[in-house]
Structure 1
Amino acid sequence: MSVIRRPDEKGLEKVDADPDPIAERGTLGLSEEARQEAQRRYPVVAPLAAQELVSAADARAAAALLGVSSRSIYALVARFRASGGLMSALAPGKPSGGRGRSRMPARVDDIVTAAIYDTYLTRQKRRIVRLVEEVQLRCKKVGLVAPSAKTIRRRLETIRAEEVARRRDGPRSKSARRLTSAAGHGPISMAPLDIVQIDHTPVDLILVDEITRLPVGRPWLTVAIDVYSRCIVGFLVSFEAPSATSVGLCLAHSGVEKRAYLDGLGLDAEWPIAGVPRLLHLDNAAEFHGEALALGCQQHGIGLEYRPKGQPHFGGVIERLIGTLMGLIHDLPGTTFSNPAERGTYDSDAAAVLTLSELEHWLALAISGRYHHEVHEGIMEPPLARWKRGIAEHGDPRPVANSREYLVDFLPVVRRTIQRDGFTLDHITYYSDVLRPWIANRDRCRSFLIRRDPRDLSQIFVLEPDGRSYVTVPCRRLERPGISLFEHRQAVRTLKAGGRALVDEEVIFRTIEQQRGLVKASAKKSRAARRQLARQTPAAEPPVDRVAVMPTIENERADDQASGSPPFPMERW
């Protein structure tokens, strides 16, 4: 180790650093002693480097653990970040230089780092010229040759832009928030499915109709990601705007094993991500505050946590994922790109070739065959490798016991009393013989909890009074075609606009048949009509069977008791 001259001038203590030079170099040139020292420093420095801002308290605590000064901790963090997370960057020794590495002597590099944090990264916002002067002064005091202004500027470039903004402008400044809205760090996940984030986005792609192959517009993507491994847990692509239904279907897709789903798409790929998450992290959109989501999570022991207001980086993991997926989609024909300026003169409608089902197929392949196998910058390893390592260390997540029931538990809810002819929802009556015991004792029964899939109103799922299972109750008129809630509401609006005060089931279905005919006839003329036609077919479904829970009613009793749960208003779907 070279001898460092330490004059006794006042003020030198604040820039004094670890007497052992802190170098960044390859492992081939490290001695066994240096390698062991790097291994000792790694578990202390790596977590600090992952933070956007290293507080003085954290630096002091780390310094105490390693037996160095706080300034040396900042220097170690800076070197570790600049190296891309290499353990060898933490080894003592003379720096070897090279692309992306510091060629300054270690002692000089420490002085530059200390001056940056003391002089430049402060709320006084001193100019770079003042920083250069401070470095020159400190180097002169200890008898070292100061680096050039160009070298100091390059050293500044290794510091994250968000850290510069936070220290110079304040953590809540617009500049800091702009830089950290997607790149910020949220709560730490300790194991697979410990934390799952869910969000929606319009897809930057124009799709075409399955039959006419004419443009129908942009779909919506709902996607869930495991924060620990960055694996995509599940997704849903649909023309329907975000709703409680899309959240529920995405969760259903997330919970179940994907082998059958991939086989159905003809994909020979691996997607082992499945299970019940411990905690869901969500933003504050209305569809994330619905009764269905709250009840489903309560049923399956899933915690709910919402993004704190004023902290957009809380959902940074899912937002970065959406950016990654949209970046891949920008290579597809028919992309709209991120904005009109980026799109330029590109004709997205004319270039569009993919249908909704084809996009779903492409996304499944992109996720299982590409995204999960590429090194993720946030965790420095492929998501699938991180998932498997987490499973080996922590065990499998809690599995979904019954995929069909899991789906039903996240469908939108409503409460209704039972009548002689069954249940009536939105002018449609549902009846089955399984309801007879409850109809006979309807005076004792209060309201029933009912769920339905808004994509198909041909059946509803009624929770038994004992709360143990659902029964499937079909539409009373079995010959009725399957219709969506979108079509149903449109028909009701049409009838009311025509002055019909009383709306009944027969008229609704007749109106829907007429509307379908008009839409098909005009599909080649109007994008809106084609989009409406696309909504008549079921949205992309999760890899679970169509729910048909019809338990056998043993020992039918005339004294079935109601659950006693208080009624609540219908949830918006």
Structure 2
Amino acid sequence: MKLHNPLAIDDEFYLNGVKFIVHDIQAPNIFYYREEGDKKIREINYITLLEDLTFKGPDKVVKISAKNESNVEKKVTFMLDTLIPDRKRKTVLRLNLIKPILLYDKAKQGDMYALNSFNEIYKGYLKGNETITKLTKKELLARVSKNSKESGDKKISPRQLERYLQAYYESENNRENFGVEGLISKAYYNAHSREDEKAIQILHPKKDEIILDTIYCRVENEEYVPLIEKGIKRFLSKKRRKITHLHSDLEILCSAQKLDPLLYDTVYKMVKRINVQIYDRLSKGIMEAEYHDPVTQRVSGYFARCPLNVIEIDHVKLPIKLIDETTGSDLGEPWLTLAIDVYTRMIWGFDLSFQSPSGHKVMCAIYNGICLKRAKEMYGTINDWEMHGIPTVIYMDNGPEFNNTFVKSMIEDELHAEVRYRPVATPRYGGIIERFFRTINDEFLDQLLGFYSKGNSVEERQAAKKEAILTLSDLTELLVRYFVDVYHFDTHRGLPLDQDTPAVRFHQAINIMGYPPSIPANQEESYLIKLLPVDMKSYDKDGIREENVRYASPETSRFVNTRLKKNVKIKFDVRDISKIYILDSTNQVYIEVPSISPPAEQVQGMSRDLYKAIRKELIATGKINKRQILGTDQIIEGKRLIQERFEKMVNKNASMRKHILNKGGTLSVSLSSVEPLKRTTPSKAQSLIEKYNNQRNGTGK
């Protein structure tokens, strides 16, 4: 997908078809002038600039072409999704080989975000105190080539790496940010995929609870997995690590379990998949390596060198009771999935819902993070929510909702970011986000009706349930206002004294480095499709059946195949069952396909969970059988039955709430609902904004 390159001073861009040059950056505003014209300095808010559909970033200036641009925007292809898994992995492997060289090229062109990414991820290619300014491209190619051999695979020569680079850049020139498609080997489009890949956890030689990495290798059955993990653990404990010794150890272990020995080539390829930074960590010792270890302290504020360098993500169940916006019945506590930028402490993205932690909630938070927030327009905030874009590293817990194939593929293959997991049973490594969870409890939630302390008694929780008045949409609005107008302007002890608020920290970085890469507003929907989960389904004469919903369209009728099962690849959004996306492998595009039974217009915006609840209620009352797909009348009847059940569940002591709702009133709230209506002193948000402006102007704190 197309990204806006970071804007910096002297960069050129187009607006309404006119070419301009950036004169200065004083975040959140850009000062610019027209290259050919009156040279008058103009000022524009950066978020406003990005939201303008006529804006073309600096990467478009060299070869601007309105015709080509319009074609690209109308047809976004997904060639990688047409590949068999084995070929896709090999393509991504080639991309990973040349990533340090791609970042090197950008850094040499003055891209400070690329420079920080190189120093963050590929510092191992620098010797001693060497810096990237002293490193030649020829030498870097040689080091990457050498590393490819030491990793266990056959050596990729510098010349071959140059071919990969050439293919990447040629594809990038044809369609920006699709350079990876140039790395696809056409000879293997029809290769057979393998089903025997097993996940191997790379454990620390002395501490089993620390998982250093996870690799995948092809073995006949699961019995090999613990043997391989044991052999690699011993392999890593040695100062002289020879693959022949590991192969011999595994032969002995397999023989003891009466298993066929692994081939040397299998062991060889296995070792090459281990992250090379692990060797550096172990050779220098655990305590020394914590200073720059991807698993530990490297994600602290000190080592996050710029905005979007490192993002932490985690879940928490908020201790506040919410009610249904229609009936007033108690719905319980929501789950908050939050992503925070380590360098600035600004909130990058979030998802608030009643859905339990899952890969899909992680996807929603990440999608929120990479896109423009439009907080002023949607929630009436005082300030813009400026933090958005593609991060370098995403740092997560080891829970199953994070450590799974869907999430890893979404981050690594689609966003081209790096995934890191904090060690098991070490919450201190997620300290930044854990502290924020305590902050919203102490400084925000405890001001709201329905809040309870986690240590409260059952009676106190029941009292919170009785006084609850907020709905999910209410709490979402209040949270966004708290993030944008209060938290981003409040003092943080973990930040430097001269940049002790997230807003000041962010804007000072932007003034020096320019804005980080971001997604054009008109490409956000395409990015959502990229991030959605994928599945294989059968397309028969009645269409595709997915979770008791039928999907079909005249455009996709050509995919009907009654003999071949699971013949089409689909993507779906569990928040909206009215449509799915089917991959047209010939044209490498996803086609939107509406539901036909029930009709799309009847279930638009309906989540999969609500649809399941309606079916369950109708089956329980004998209205339909288990195989039956709902019609329009049954959807309406199901909603009525659920509403009746909710009304019966309404707490009897919440009569006033119910009375207001029955009279047609609403339970909506705003920020003023939790603060006095009349104030003789400025609000906290106003005070913090005033303090921020004073810091920027150098007039004090």
Q: Report the TM range for the smaller structure's normalisation.
A: 0.5 to 0.7
Maintained 8 Å contact 1:372/1:383: yes
C-alpha change, 1:289 and 1:489, in structure 2 (3 Å) is: farther
* Residue 186 of structure 1, CA deviation: 8.2
Secondary structure of 1:503's counterpart equals coil
Which range moves more in the overlay, 287-296 or 488-497? 488-497
Structure with more of its chain in strand, by fraction: 2
Letter in 2 for 1:189: A
Secondary structure of 1:309's counterpart equals coil
**Pair 1:289-2:411 in alignment:** no
Gap regions ≥5 residues in structure 2: 1-285, 288-295, 655-701
Superposed, which structure 2 residues align to 1:46-445 within 5 Å?
185=300, 188-258=303-373, 260-297=374-411, 298-327=413-442, 328-340=444-456, 347-380=463-496, 381-401=500-520, 402-439=523-560
Maintained 8 Å contact 2:538/2:566: yes
Q: Max radius of gyration: which structure?
A: 1
2:571 matched residue in structure 1: 451
C-alpha change, 1:343 and 1:301, in structure 2 (3 Å) is: farther
- Matches of 2:615 and 2:639 in 1, distance apart? 14
- Matches of 2:481 and 2:630 in 1, distance apart? 44
1:87 matched residue in structure 2: none
Maintained 8 Å contact 1:206/1:349: yes
- Matches of 2:455 and 2:542 in 1, distance apart? 54
* Residue 444 of structure 1, CA deviation: 8.5
Letter in 1 for 2:306: A
1:470 matched residue in structure 2: 590
- Matches of 2:572 and 2:641 in 1, distance apart? 27
Secondary structure of 2:476's counterpart equals helix
* Residue 431 of structure 1, CA deviation: 0.6
* Residue 268 of structure 1, CA deviation: 2.9
Q: Deviations over 1:53-112 (max 9, x none)?
A: xxxxxxxxxxxxxxxxxxxxxxxxxxxxxxxxxxxxxxxxxxxxxxxxxxxxxxxxxxxx
Secondary structure of 1:224's counterpart equals strand
Which range moves more in the overlay, 512-521 or 423-432? 512-521
Letter in 1 for 2:640: G
**Pair 1:481-2:622 in alignment:** no
C-alpha change, 1:309 and 1:344, in structure 2 (3 Å) is: same
Maintained 8 Å contact 2:615/2:638: no
- Matches of 1:491 and 1:461 in 2, distance apart? 24
Letter in 1 for 2:539: I
Maintained 8 Å contact 1:254/1:275: yes
C-alpha change, 1:528 and 1:282, in structure 2 (3 Å) is: farther
Secondary structure of 2:647's counterpart equals coil
* Residue 495 of structure 1, CA deviation: 7.3
1:74 matched residue in structure 2: none
Gap regions ≥5 residues in structure 1: 1-170, 173-180, 531-573
Which range moves more in the overlay, 322-331 or 520-529? 520-529
* Residue 189 of structure 1, CA deviation: 1.4
Letter in 2 for 1:272: E
Q: Deviations over 1:369-391 (max 9, x none)?
A: 00000111111410111112222
- Matches of 1:392 and 1:467 in 2, distance apart? 43
Maintained 8 Å contact 2:584/2:591: yes
Letter in 2 for 1:438: F
2:646 matched residue in structure 1: 523
Secondary structure of 2:401's counterpart equals helix
Maintained 8 Å contact 1:222/1:236: yes
Maintained 8 Å contact 1:292/1:409: no
- Matches of 1:187 and 1:448 in 2, distance apart? 47
Letter in 1 for 2:331: V
Maintained 8 Å contact 1:451/1:460: yes
* Residue 325 of structure 1, CA deviation: 1.4
- Matches of 2:592 and 2:367 in 1, distance apart? 18
Letter in 1 for 2:428: H
- Matches of 2:352 and 2:319 in 1, distance apart? 12
- Matches of 1:262 and 1:400 in 2, distance apart? 19
Which range moves more in the overlay, 188-197 or 345-354? 345-354
Maintained 8 Å contact 2:324/2:331: yes
Q: Deviations over 1:200-240 (max 9, x none)?
A: 11112112221233433211111110011110011121122
Letter in 2 for 1:481: V
- Matches of 1:345 and 1:442 in 2, distance apart? 56
- Matches of 1:372 and 1:216 in 2, distance apart? 30
Maintained 8 Å contact 1:464/1:471: yes
Letter in 2 for 1:302: A
* Residue 452 of structure 1, CA deviation: 1.4
Secondary structure of 1:451's counterpart equals strand
C-alpha change, 1:317 and 1:429, in structure 2 (3 Å) is: same
* Residue 194 of structure 1, CA deviation: 1.0
Secondary structure of 1:378's counterpart equals coil
Maintained 8 Å contact 2:570/2:581: yes
Q: Deviations over 1:508-534 (max 9, x none)?
A: 87665443222212323315999xxxx
Letter in 1 for 2:406: A
What is the identity percentage for the equivalent residue pairs of Structure 1 and Structure 2? 27
- Matches of 2:351 and 2:527 in 1, distance apart? 16
- Matches of 2:333 and 2:628 in 1, distance apart? 33
How many positions carry a matched residue from both structures? Answer: 349
- Matches of 1:391 and 1:442 in 2, distance apart? 57
Which range moves more in the overlay, 492-501 or 458-467? 492-501
2:92 matched residue in structure 1: none
- Matches of 2:430 and 2:303 in 1, distance apart? 12
Q: Deviations over 1:272-320 (max 9, x none)?
A: 1010111111112222134432332211212111111232212111111
* Residue 448 of structure 1, CA deviation: 2.9
Letter in 2 for 1:356: L
Secondary structure of 2:603's counterpart equals coil
* Residue 393 of structure 1, CA deviation: 3.2
- Matches of 1:342 and 1:395 in 2, distance apart? 52
Maintained 8 Å contact 1:204/1:335: yes
- Matches of 2:303 and 2:431 in 1, distance apart? 12
Letter in 1 for 2:339: A
* Residue 503 of structure 1, CA deviation: 3.4
Letter in 2 for 1:287: E
Maintained 8 Å contact 2:375/2:385: no
Maintained 8 Å contact 1:231/1:273: yes
- Matches of 1:341 and 1:187 in 2, distance apart? 40
- Matches of 1:442 and 1:300 in 2, distance apart? 36
- Matches of 1:345 and 1:454 in 2, distance apart? 31
* Residue 501 of structure 1, CA deviation: 11
Maintained 8 Å contact 1:413/1:452: yes
Q: Deviations over 1:229-255 (max 9, x none)?
A: 110011121122222221111111111
Maintained 8 Å contact 1:216/1:527: no
Secondary structure of 1:473's counterpart equals strand
Which range moves more in the overlay, 494-503 or 272-281? 494-503
* Residue 420 of structure 1, CA deviation: 2.8
- Matches of 1:525 and 1:367 in 2, distance apart? 36
